[in-house]
Amino acid sequence: MEVKVEKEGGVLVVSPIGKLDGENGVLLEQTLMPDITGTNNKVAMNMENVNGVTNDGIRGLLTLIQRATMMRGQLVLYNASESFIQVLQQSGLDSFFTVVGDKNEVFERLGG
């Protein structure tokens, strides 16, 4: 998995590319945990190029959501596929995630 991270205004924009499985979920955590701080706590994750997800991959996202929340911020997913949303719903974890349609909606929600 490749992970692109950019800063736009006060928001970290993260674009993972590839399958979000257990191994890549850990990679995503390791890549982003140092970047999510008290002053850098708004995260927008572009799911457009995620071409598969497992429950272990979702666990990595949950860890990042917890980190952002702990830092008094938020992580918002956007451009998620229907199959990704279905996996969240089937796992019963969809209530932990904020999923919006596109980047504009993310910036409206996060105020970035």
Cβ atoms of 28 and 1 closer than 8 Å: yes
Which SS3 state, helix, strand or coil, does residue 106 take?
helix
- List, for residues 95-110, the tens digit of each pLDDT value: 999 999 999 999 999 9
Residue 35 lies in a domain: yes
* Burial state string for 38-54 with b = 16 or more CB within 10 A and e = fewer than 16: eebbbbbbbbeebeebb
Cβ atoms of 97 and 68 closer than 8 Å: no
User: What CATH number did the domain enclosing 16 receive?
Assistant: 3.30.750.24
Look at the chain and report how many structural domains it folds into: 1
Helices (H) and strands (E) in the chain, counts: 4, 6
Predicted model pTM: 0.93
- List, for residues 1-53, the tens digit of each pLDDT value: 999 999 999 999 999 999 999 999 999 999 999 999 999 999 999 999 999 99
**Spatial separation of the C-alpha atoms in residues 92 and 103, rounded to whole Å:** 25
Residue 108 lies in a domain: no
**Residue 73: domain span:** 2-77+90-100
Residues forming beta bridges with residue 14, ordered by sequence position: 5, 45
